[in-house]
């Protein structure tokens, strides 16, 4: 018999407190910034799902190609009895791993959205007899407290989401995951690779404007949650390649000089015409840099797979 349960390690009011802190710090800083996690309300999640189906946006298709071709090989190398997925969302892309891991007993999807976890977890428990689904409502970037489950354990962090963390944040995150696991447990990490600038820009600035709508959705979230009066149409979407840092930056550019009121924070924010606010960094990687960052955090890279066009990679690392 399968089972399903949800554990919350994220306090009920943590999301609201984090949004307030991030908006206040980000919009009063210089330059202005907002973390990308605030894109993802229900509308933002729908827009991102639409982005993954755009012809310009290759990462989702490339990662799926690798999982289809290599899931069984990965499963044989790990022989995991517990699969932990960080930022699981709908858990859709994990199906190939769940199918391949013959000895799997427990699946632990981790996300900040309890509703998404409930939908996905109940479906998986019903479809996969014998699999225990222990969903975890948690912010895995703020430390990872995992339930007691049988080993070996495999942590999957897919989609290239690790690239949204700045280098210091990424280093701390990789160390925190290592510290939450035992020697011999493993990490399957999805990383988007450095490639030509045109391909990268198109992936973050599609012709139909879906990514622009996704970017501006963060303003709608702030309006709704904090009573702000942002006018999304008064901002333009910008996607820029930074060759020095080897990352894409998404920004919002004020089209006119304007003042935005944020009543919940008791503050107003001025934007000069043309001023830009960074809303996302998406780092792109090379094999050597991925291995070096993992090694510094206590991981030994034992596997590396790319799609046929070498656009995206999955790496397998073992906790030392």
Q: Give the bridge partners for 254, in sequence order.
A: 235
Q: Between residues 41 and 262, which one has the greater pLDDT? A: 262
Rounded Cα distance between 174 and 295, Å, is 10
In this prediction, residue 265 has a pLDDT band, given cuts at 50, 70 and 90, of very high
Q: Please indicate, yes or no, whether the overall pTM of this predicted structure exceeds 0.85.
A: yes
Nearest to 73 by CA among 302, 261, 311, 320: 302
Q: What is the pLDDT of residue 91?
A: 63
Q: Are strands 299-306 and 186-192 parallel, antiparallel or unpaired?
A: unpaired
* pLDDT of 9 over the 80 cut: no
Domains of the chain plus CATH, in order, are: 3-7+57-195+285-319 (3.40.50.150)
Nearest to 69 by CA among 311, 312, 305: 305
Task: Map 244-264 to HEC letters.
Answer: CCCEEEEEEEECCCEEEEEHH
* pLDDT of 317 over the 70 cut: yes
Rounded Cα distance between 27 and 306, Å, is 38
Instruction: Name the 3-class secondary structure at 193.
Output: strand
Nearest to 36 by CA among 211, 268, 266, 245: 211
Q: What is the pLDDT of residues 185-237, one digit of tens each?
A: 999 999 999 999 999 999 999 999 999 999 999 999 999 999 999 999 999 99
The mean pLDDT of 242-270, rounded to a whole number, is: 97
Q: What is the pLDDT of residue 224?
A: 95
* pLDDT of 6 over the 90 cut: no
Q: Between residues 294 and 6, which one has the greater pLDDT? A: 294
Residue 72: left (phi > 0), alpha (psi -120 to 50), or beta? alpha
Q: What is the pLDDT of residues 224-249, one digit of tens each?
A: 999 999 999 999 999 999 999 999 99
Q: What is the pLDDT of residue 1?
A: 55
| Cβ-proximal residues to 295 (8 Å cutoff; 6+ apart), any chain | 301
């Amino acid at each position: 018999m399968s089972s399903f349960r949800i554990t919350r390690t994220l306090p009920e009011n943590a999301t609201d407190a984090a949004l307030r802190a991030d908006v206040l710090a980000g919009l009063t800083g210089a330059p202005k910034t907002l973390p990308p996690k605030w894109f993802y309300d229900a509308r933002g999640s729908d827009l991102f799902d639409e982005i993954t189906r755009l012809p310009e946006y290759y990462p989702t298709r490339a990662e799926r190609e690798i999982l289809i071709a290599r899931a069984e090989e990965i499963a044989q190398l790990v022989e995991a009895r517990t699969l932990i997925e960080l930022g699981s969302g709908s858990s859709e892309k994990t199906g190939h791993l769940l199918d391949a891991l013959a000895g799997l007993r427990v699946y632990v999807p981790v996300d900040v959205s309890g509703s998404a976890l409930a939908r996905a977890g109940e479906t998986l428990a019903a479809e996969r007899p014998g699999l225990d689904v222990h969903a975890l409502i948690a912010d895995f970037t703020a430390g990872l407290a995992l339930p007691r489950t049988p080993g070996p354990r495999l942590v999957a962090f897919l989609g290239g989401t690790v690239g949204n963390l700045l280098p210091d944040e990424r280093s701390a995150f990789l160390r925190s995951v290592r510290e939450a696991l035992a020697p011999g447990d493993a990490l399957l990490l999805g990383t988007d690779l450095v490639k030509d600038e045109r391909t990268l820009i198109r992936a973050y600035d599609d012709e139909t404007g879906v990514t622009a709508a996704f970017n501006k959705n963060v303003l709608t979230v702030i309006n709704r949650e904090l009573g702000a009066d942002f006018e999304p149409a008064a901002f333009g979407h910008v996607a820029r390649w930074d060759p020095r840092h080897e990352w894409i930056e998404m920004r919002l550019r004020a089209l006119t000089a304007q003042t935005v009121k944020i009543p919940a924070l008791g503050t107003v924010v001025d934007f000069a015409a043309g001023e830009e606010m960074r809303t996302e960094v998406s780092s792109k990687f090379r094999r050597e840099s991925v291995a070096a960052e993992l090694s510094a955090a206590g991981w030994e890279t034992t596997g590396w797979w790319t799609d046929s066009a070498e656009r995206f990679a999955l790496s397998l690392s073992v906790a030392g």
